[in-house]
Amino acid sequence: MSKQATWVLATIAAVMLGFIVIYEQHTLTSSEVESRRGQVLNRFLRDRVTRVTLQRGDDVVATMQRDTSEEETLDTMNVGTWRLSAPVQGEVDTDALDALFLACDSVTARRTISNVSDEDRATFGLDDPRLMLTLQVADETQIVRVGGDEEGTEGVFVEVEGADVVYIVGRDFFEALDQSTDHFRSKRLVPDFVPRELTQFVLTGGSTATAPETRIEAH
């Protein structure tokens, strides 16, 4: 084989490898899908979620997007930082988002109902859901609708778009999603404050005209 042919084959192999790597970064792998088999949200992987939208009727409670940088990219599987983009803009309360992700990760079906008709969906409150959660997981959009309560129990009707069944899950799943916009907003007074980057701060007491001043510098 000539040297030129070897270089051509090596280039083709490199291009193919690059395509595979890029493709797998933005799609769920078979092992990831298998790890969620049998779960209500069977394609939910929190490290692969890039966008979350929670709606109550036509009103958007919160749209949250993963805020990545060159050092913190999706292929690192880093949970990263998140930003609210609607209905207000700002930093996300990561504890609140973690709680939502935990609910999605751990929700289980108390009962599964098959062969659901349109009339059944209306009875279950799924044609006009109380809450709707839209998750962007890798290159997939997953929509979860939360309907009414199951009479006489602590169960709630839930439908995952693409599945042919309706689940009855614990009311705690509904409660985890039944939040306000402020619940997902960061409670930090100084959102961009990073302690390890602090080099100096000044503490002032009393009026600015007569206040004693304490100055501390990092070395």
User: 66: which 2 tokens?
Assistant: 């993963």
Is 44 within 8 Å of 38 (Cβ atoms)?
no
Is 142 within 8 Å of 41 (Cβ atoms)?
yes
- Neighbour tally for 42: CB within 10 Å: 15
Is 97 within 8 Å of 81 (Cβ atoms)?
no
150 pLDDT more than 90 = yes
What single string gives the DSSP state of each residue in 92-111? B-HHHHHHHHHHHHH--EEE
Give the chain's length.
Answer: 219
77 pLDDT more than 60 = no
Quick one: pLDDT at residue 24? 44
User: 142: which 2 tokens?
Assistant: 């997953």
Beta bridge partners of 149: 156
Phi and psi at residue 4, to the nearest 5° = -65, -40
Per-residue pLDDT averaged across 152-161, rounded? Answer: 95
pLDDT tens column, 158-189: 999 988 899 999 999 999 999 999 999 998 76
- The angle at the Cα of 110, spanning 105 to 112, to the nearest 5 degrees, equals 100
Quick one: pLDDT at residue 31? 74
User: 165: which 2 tokens?
Assistant: 């069944």
Quick one: pLDDT at residue 37? 78
Residue type, 148: G
More confident residue, 181 or 3: 181
Residue type, 184: F
More confident residue, 155 or 24: 155
Per-residue pLDDT averaged across 96-112, rounded? Answer: 95
